[in-house]
Amino acid sequence: ICIVLADGNQQFINYAYLISGKFLVEENKIILEFSANLVTLSGERLSGLFTQLMMHLPKKICCVDHRYNSVAETNGFIINQIEIK
């Protein structure tokens, strides 16, 4: 999965290293635990993305500045913040 940050920097992490995922509905967050990284996705309408992630479908996840939410091309979800540790 390729993760594109708001500044354009990208990081690729193989799905084979995905250990677990959490969807925190009230916080609009998805937390993905990889063997060497913890990825937190924050945004809107994330339930569909969580389902796709369980099936290892998304190839690229892009962060969009919240100012562009109304005009952003989406797949039903919007990611406004990505944190990789």
Write out pLDDT tens, residues 37-55.
999 999 999 999 999 999 9
Give the HSE-up count for residue 35: Cα atoms under 13 Å, Cβ half-sphere.
5
Q: CB count, 10 Å around CB of 9?
A: 10
The per-residue pLDDT for 49 is 95
Mean pLDDT score of the chain? 91
- Checking if the pLDDT of 31 tops 90, the result is yes
For residue 71, the model assigns a pLDDT of 58
As given in the structure block, the two tokens for residue 8 are: 């354009």
Could you give the CA distance from residue 38 to residue 21 in angstroms, rounded to a whole number? 10
pLDDT in tens, 49-82: 999 999 999 999 999 877 665 555 656 788 999 9
